[in-house]
Amino acid sequence: MNQMPPSGLGGSHQSFTRPPGTPRLPRIARGEGVWLFDTDGNRYLDASSGPVASNLGHGHPRILAAMAAQARQAVFAYPSQFESAANIEFSDRLARLAGPGLERAWVVSGGSEAVESAIKFLRQHAVVTGQGSRWKVIGRQPGYHGNTLGALAISGDDHAHEVFGPLLQAVPRVPAPLSYRLPPNHTVETYAAACAAALEAAILREGPETVLAFILEPVGGLATGALVAPAAYYEEVRRICTGHGVALIYDEVMSGAGRTGRFLAADHWPTARPDVAVLAKGLSAGYAPMGAALFPAAMVDRIAAAGGFMHGFTYSAHVMNCAVGAAVLREVEEADLTGNAERMGCLLRARLDAIAANSPIIGEVRGLGLLLAMELVADRGSKAMIPLERVAPQRVGELALRHGLALYCRRTSRGAYGDWLMVSPPLTITAEEVGELSDRLAATLAEFTDELRA
Ligand code: PLP
């Protein structure tokens, strides 16, 4: 690959994020289904839906048609001045798919904004209900909820806290029930129980009257590599939050909109429903910048009666974005993409398990539906990590491009908890494409293994 060209006056995204002299990224030309094509004529199978966003693949004709139709009518109208049919259709569909207790959708431009909105909403609701002393949001370590200062403050990433701190609020963090490297004398189940107990201890230590919410990714994203806890963990967390009057927020930015084989990952644990859910990414499948926070109708009515939610952005409930979101949700339902995520997820999981069985550098495969990850290790017996200076996820990502595979590989928390690859193709993927993805991934990992052994 050629070197990054000297940037023009405005530079590019790369000029902010990649040191000079690093290989330049392919330049996107077009996308079709699970394939992305660059301007040099290469094609790449999108094995991760970008950052787990392109749930419908690329160039989807129904979504493009919905965008064109909406563009001819109205692209933008300020939601304090006009309501829109697109916003109403989108919110109604989302509420129906999300199920009881999550009836009202607050629509914004992305995941971080949705997380911020959820917290501000809960804070205002606490004030309205005479519980204004509750403001702390407990998060998990590791964990990720977005890159704005508030969302970063509740994310469990010490490196980001070091670089950007002091953050806007100091919040307690409790361990996420990581499944691969367990503390001595623990099983996955006993460690998950200990992590839930740590939540209750944190609430008691902080003073329950000061704790507003606990936020977690029900199926983890990049921060944990598709971590799934035992069912008892979710039930215990639900019990603890209810017992102390703490709102339970599920961050479903990655896991929502059908990706795990249910519309919400929460649907896998029906007895541990959240009070609030936050979605983005797959909600508009990358066709528009979009996120949403879902709340119970009774809470929204209470805030409205007290004068209204004191929050909003220029692009809240953006008309075009809502039309895209409505079209995406229509397609998710009509093409049964949630069912496809479950079916193709089983197939892909079996292929990844087979790759792992034959690879000395894959320690674990985990996840649900089409939100999967593979843990990279130097040695499966000792679970030793690949030396940090190898920057294994990034390197695998570079090699994958050569094999015509676009992977989402970025180290988080400086690799302190391990390294992994997200494998999360569009929910539209076919069995044949699952085979092609797996072959290309196996070849990439074999090349990386040779490089490590050289
Ligand atoms: N929450 C989770 C679980 C995420 O994975 C992300 C993004 O990766 C976010 C929140 C932030 O979303 P956005 O990048 O759209 O602001």
Sheet with 28-32, side-by-side order of all strands? 28-32, 35-38, 43-46, 405-406
pLDDT in the model for residue 73 = 98
One-character DSSP codes across 217-230: -SB--TTTTS-B--
Nearest residue by C-alpha to atom 1 in ligand 1: 145
pLDDT per residue over 312-324, tens digit each?
999 999 999 999 9
- Whether the CB of 289 sits within 6 Å of ligand 1: no
In the reported structure, the alpha carbon of residue 12 is separated from the centroid of ligand 1 by a whole-number distance in angstroms of 22
- Whether the CB of 46 sits within 6 Å of ligand 1: no
Give the number of the atom of ligand 1 that is nearest the alpha carbon of residue 146: 11
In the reported structure, the alpha carbon of residue 414 is separated from the centroid of ligand 1 by a whole-number distance in angstroms of 18
Answer whether residue 143 shows pLDDT above 60: yes
- Whether the CB of 217 sits within 6 Å of ligand 1: yes
Domains of the chain with CATH codes: 13-59+336-453 (3.90.1150.10), 63-334 (3.40.640.10)
Q: Are 390 and 403 in contact (CB under 8 A)?
A: no
Answer whether residue 226 shows pLDDT above 80: yes
The model's confidence at residue 44, banded by pLDDT at 50, 70 and 90, is very high
Nearest residue by C-alpha to atom 12 in ligand 1: 111
pLDDT in the model for residue 16 = 85
pLDDT in the model for residue 2 = 46
pLDDT greater at residue 180 or residue 21: 180
- Whether the CB of 256 sits within 6 Å of ligand 1: no
- Whether the CB of 251 sits within 6 Å of ligand 1: yes
Contacts 24+ apart (CB under 8 A), 331-336: 331/56, 331/60, 331/62, 331/63, 332/55, 332/56, 332/97, 332/257, 332/258, 332/263, 332/427, 333/93, 333/97, 335/428
Task: Give the closest residue to 279 by CA, choosing from 78, 49, 94, 35.
Answer: 94
Q: Are 237 and 194 in contact (CB under 8 A)?
A: no
Tell me what percent of the residues of the chain surpass a pLDDT of 90: 90
Give the number of the atom of ligand 1 that is nearest the alpha carbon of residue 280: 15
What mean pLDDT is reported for the chain? 95
pLDDT in the model for residue 170 = 66
Answer whether residue 379 shows pLDDT above 90: yes
Tell me what percent of the residues of the chain surpass a pLDDT of 70: 98
- Whether the CB of 146 sits within 6 Å of ligand 1: yes
Residues composing the chain: 454
Answer whether residue 61 shows pLDDT above 60: yes
Distance between CA atoms of 253 and 273, rounded to whole angstroms? 16
Instruction: List helix spans (H) across 140-187.
Output: 149-153, 158-164
- Whether the CB of 110 sits within 6 Å of ligand 1: yes
Answer whether residue 4 shows pLDDT above 70: no
pLDDT per residue over 257-268, tens digit each?
999 999 999 999
pLDDT per residue over 248-292, tens digit each?
999 999 999 999 999 999 999 999 999 999 999 999 999 999 999
Give the number of the atom of ligand 1 that is nearest the alpha carbon of residue 217: 3
Query: What's the whole-number mean pLDDT along residues 327-338?
Result: 98
pLDDT in the model for residue 167 = 84
- Whether the CB of 145 sits within 6 Å of ligand 1: yes
Answer whether residue 75 shows pLDDT above 70: yes
Answer whether residue 26 shows pLDDT above 50: yes
Compute CA 99 distance to the chain's CA centroid, rounded to the nearest angstrom. 20
- Whether the CB of 253 sits within 6 Å of ligand 1: yes
Distance between CA atoms of 322 and 341, rounded to whole angstroms? 23
Helix, strand and coil percent figures for the chain, each rounded to 5: 45, 15, 40
Nearest residue by C-alpha to atom 10 in ligand 1: 145
Pocket test for ligand 1, best of 113, 116, 137, 145 (most atoms within 8 A of CB): 145
Distance between CA atoms of 426 and 370, rounded to whole angstroms? 8
Residue 58 DSSP class: B
- Whether the CB of 280 sits within 6 Å of ligand 1: yes
pLDDT per residue over 425-441, tens digit each?
999 999 999 999 999 99
One-character DSSP codes across 405-425: EE-B----GGGTT-EEEEE--
pLDDT in the model for residue 1 = 46
* Position 355, amino acid: I
Answer whether residue 169 shows pLDDT above 80: no
Task: Give the closest residue to 49 by CA, choosing from 254, 251, 217.
Answer: 254
Looking up tokens 């990034």, which residue turns up?
394
Give the number of the atom of ligand 1 that is nearest the alpha carbon of residue 51: 8
Answer whether residue 368 shows pLDDT above 90: yes
Answer whether residue 414 shows pLDDT above 90: no
Distance between CA atoms of 291 and 253, rounded to whole angstroms? 8
Contacts of 45 (CB under 8 A, 6+ apart): 34, 35, 404, 405, 406, 425, 433, 436, 437, 440
In the reported structure, the alpha carbon of residue 291 is separated from the centroid of ligand 1 by a whole-number distance in angstroms of 9
In the reported structure, the alpha carbon of residue 3 is separated from the centroid of ligand 1 by a whole-number distance in angstroms of 30
Compute CA 104 distance to the chain's CA centroid, rounded to the nearest angstrom. 21
What does pTM read for this prediction?
Answer: 0.96
